[in-house]
Amino acid sequence: MKIIYILAYLLGINCHISMINPPSRRNQASPYYVSQGLVNYNLRSPLNVSPDFFTFPCKGFTPGPSVSTFNGNNIQVTLEGTAVHGGGHCQFGVSYDDSEFLVLKTVLNSCLLDSMTYNFDLPENAPGGKMTVFWTWVNRVGNREYYMECADVTVNNGNSPNKFAELKGTELLVVNLPGYSIIPEWNPSDSADQDGRTLFYARKEMVLTVNNNGEKVELPEKVELPEKVERPEKVERPEKVERVKKPEKVELPEKVERPEKVERVKKPEKVERPEKVERPEKVERQERVERQKGIKKNKKERFEILPELTTCNLGEMKCKNSGFNTCVNNNWVYRDCAAGTYCKKNGNSIICDYT
């Protein structure tokens, strides 16, 4: 009976591949799982097949204690087994909660053929502390299967486990399981569409946000948008606004007739100056003598308007007695000469002079 179990164990070892460093969960390469009697000897089986029907992710095993420590951000994974099924496609990466897996290294077609040891680097800002290291494999030849294992490790990279970080990488591709795409067997010379590389190329870049001792930060649930906002009823436009018509063309008045040429007022004819007033003849010497003697005339005689209307020329002057007359508005106006002088004719004019 023991021989049968030993043969079954040896066949299981040679059937497929297992991650031995860091040791995957329930792996016989882990002293912890051996000491606790928790080893599963079917770990090399793919997901969703007999006898264990391991589930996605991590074969359904919950996180355990850390089984390996890495100093720095470089992670090295070592695989073991001989049934490589023609190689295939592998993905390597980390997770902080076993729900989101950040792929940091991908090997297409040649996985398990050129090496059984693979290295990848954590992002420089990755928090230190505990995390999950995983690997997946899509075999090239054989039944269409999907392999996955996870290991619990501790990373000492100088970053605080409580550090908030956004880690950039690629999303994990899952195939050959119920509800997922199937990659058929392929030859090394097949196209990307035939060997499934197209699916790997189509993976999206992702950002894994972590904090609180390396735990993944939970994003809020999907925000429910408000129900459709009803638009207000159609706003009735006002009736067509009549534009104000331009006023009818303003009729200009008929041509304004200019007044006939205005006759300028002629200047009055040149006023004829009166002829030169003839001065009266020389007053008698006796009168001069009387003036010198200071004989005074009656004041009425000094300025006398002749009672009779006389026709004379305006400004005309003539001697009278010891004074002289001047024509003003056709009237003779009498004036005395200054004391000690007498009126005498001087050509066509008169003067008051001494003897």
Domains of the chain by residue range = 2-216, 285-353
Structure tokens at 14: 């040679």
Strand boundaries in the chain, DSSP class E:
18-21, 68-71, 74-80, 88-95, 102-107, 117-121, 129-139, 147-156, 165-171, 205-211, 215-216, 317-320, 323-328, 331-336, 342-346, 349-353
Q: Across-strand partners of 167?
A: 208
- Supply the pLDDT for residue 283: 44
Strands 215-216 and 205-211, by their bridges, are antiparallel
- Supply the pLDDT for residue 249: 72
- Residues 205 and 102: their CA atoms lie apart, in Å, by 9
Q: Across-strand partners of 333?
A: 305, 326
- Supply the pLDDT for residue 138: 98
**Which are the contacts of 213, defined by CB distance < 8 A and separation ≥ 6?**
127, 129, 130, 161, 162
- Supply the pLDDT for residue 149: 98
Structure tokens at 30: 């882990």
Supply the DSSP symbol for 141. S
- Look up the CATH number of domain 2-216: 2.70.50
Q: Each residue of 274-309: pLDDT tens digit?
A: 565 455 455 455 555 455 555 444 444 444 444 545
Distance of CA 100 to CAs 59, 96, 143, Å? 15, 8, 27
Give the angle 54-56-58 at the CA atoms, nearest 5°: 80
Find the distance separating the first CA and the last CA of the chain, reported in whole Å: 197
Compute mean pLDDT per 10 residues along the chain, 355 residues long, and list them: 37 67 98 97 95 96 98 98 94 97 98 96 96 98 97 96 94 98 97 97 96 55 57 65 66 66 64 56 53 49 50 85 86 87 84 82
- Supply the pLDDT for residue 197: 98
Question: Position of tokens 């809020």?
Answer: 220
